[in-house]
Amino acid sequence: MAKAKTTFYCQNCGANSAKWVGKCPACGEWNTYVEEIVTKGSSTEKEVWEDASAPRNQPRKIQDVVYDEHQRIKTPTGELNRTLGGGIVPGSLVLIGGEPGIGKSTLLLQMAIRMKTTKVLYASGEESLDQIRMRAERIGIQAENCFLLAETSLANILNHAAQLKPEILIIDSIQTLHTETIEASVGSISQVRECAGKLMKYAKQTNVPVFLIGHVNKDGAIAGPKVLEHMVDTVLQFEGDRHLSYRILRTSKNRFGSTSEIGIYEMRETGLREVTNPSEVLISPRDGFLSGVGIGATLEGNRPLLIEVQALVSPATYGTPQRSTTGFDGKRLNMLLAVLEKRLGIRLSAQDIFLNLAGGIKVNDPALDLTICAAVFSSFDDIAIPSSICFAAEVGLGGEIRAVNRIESRITEAAKLGFKQIYLSKYNVKGIDTSKFDIEVKAFTRLSEAFEVLFAR
């Protein structure tokens, strides 16, 4: 009996080696190499979906290739259409990753049972048919063209797909599949890579879009070999806190559209609800005046959002003052606090400072700088910022107010939500007719000038 061939694979990046090594030469991680048995099947065997009479692919001139811009499959979810670049491209391979319990399976099952005129095959290796039906009952939607399959063998799934001929195939999840051509454990690097490769071949040859649900590791990256993300056409990340109701579907790779789009959902008992106007959700209603609260106009991808920034400044109880942030970069907060101390003479070195972005969202947009400075000063002096004012400007180390990109869409979003004034940089309003906006635009060059008007300081 021939000895089984084994190869060592890095569990972090998917690199392979003939022998075990302590440190991966590709990604630099330690103790990530594991031994796996590799047995290749015959490369000449025909798959069940392949047409033996079909002609082989031939080289063609690029101008001879006919492309139909309207061939995308529209889903009932506008947020999903946006993140995919306008709909599902036939023959595409889409990977959706996210934390356990975040709602990946619910998102795709909801899409499958809402597409009433499209035949969808939902293959699950994690749940039984009864469990999937129970979740579908909770969502409260019935569909005639949604077919369920509880299976972990990739060969069986593709056999059923060849007979059913679905228009969309959903796999939940890629880490639960296995193929007989690889003698490795389920979820291993080689199994995930081989199964993804066969599904990619199926999608391209049958022109059927395939959705893959992927697990994530402790760092939040999609588990398995890094080549998995290179193989697929689109990578979507489903983000959010399980203790909060809002979820963000973010595009990190898209061969057929922009990677700057996001979709926002709210998790309810009846499933995921689209949030068409997230600014109204991220701004909590206020009764009366409350110090330490400011509204900032930011961008998430190509979408303008208005976010509530909450700051709390109080005398330090212990020797070392605390600096705590939720949803914002702590190092940038420390920089803004140093600017307030140096340029405006505000003594914050003996104060505990807590900063929170309402709604559980995480933002790295520097356009929130002016909002954060205003909220911190508002809490420090206990002076409330009027709820009709919002901000959109970056603050430099010299205390100057700097311009930010796509200012017109930020102003339009603020006017649409009923704000009366928006504070900007003077360099942003050059060449812009501010009279066309239904909001008063106040422009400044320095932080001290803005605070004089805002706080009469």
Categorise residue 418: left if φ over 0, alpha if ψ from -120 to 50, beta otherwise.
left
Cα separation, 165 vs 309, whole angstroms? 51
Residue whose tokens read 């103790």: 31
Cα separation, 225 vs 190, whole angstroms? 8
For residue 300, give both structure tokens: 């998430």
Cα separation, 249 vs 108, whole angstroms? 12
Is 102 labelled a binding residue? yes
Cα separation, 342 vs 346, whole angstroms? 8
Is 41 labelled a binding residue? no
Is 100 labelled a binding residue? yes
Judge contact between 358 and 307, C-beta under 8 A. Answer: yes
Is 101 labelled a binding residue? yes
Residues shown for the chain: 457
Is 295 labelled a binding residue? no
Residue type (1 letter), 31: N
Is 98 labelled a binding residue? yes
Q: Measured between alpha carbons, how far is residue 138 from residues 141, 243, 307 in Å? A: 8, 20, 32
Strand partners, 406: none
CB-based burial label for 426 (10 Å; 0-12, 13-18, 19+): middle
Look at strands 146-150 and 210-214 and give their pairing: unpaired
**Concatenated DSSP letters for 17-47?**
ESS--SB-TTT--BS-EEEEE-----TTPPP
Judge contact between 238 and 103, C-beta under 8 A. Answer: yes
Question: What is the separation of C-alpha 364 from the centre of its chain, rounded to a whole number of angstroms?
Answer: 14
Strand partners, 427: none
Judge contact between 275 and 77, C-beta under 8 A. Answer: no
Instruction: Give the DSSP H/E element, type plus range, for residue 407.
Output: helix 407-416
Is 103 labelled a binding residue? yes
Judge contact between 333 and 373, C-beta under 8 A. Answer: no
From the list 90, 105, 335, 329, the residue with the least C-alpha distance to 213 is: 105
Is 37 labelled a binding residue? no
**Concatenated DSSP letters for 67-127?**
--TT-PBPPS-HHHHHHTTSSBPTT-EEEEEE-TTSSHHHHHHHHHHH-TTS-EEEEESSS
Look at strands 440-444 and 421-425 and give their pairing: parallel
Cα separation, 355 vs 327, whole angstroms? 8
User: Which residues are annotated binding-site positions for ATP?
Assistant: 98-105
User: Which residues are annotated binding-site positions?
Assistant: 98-105
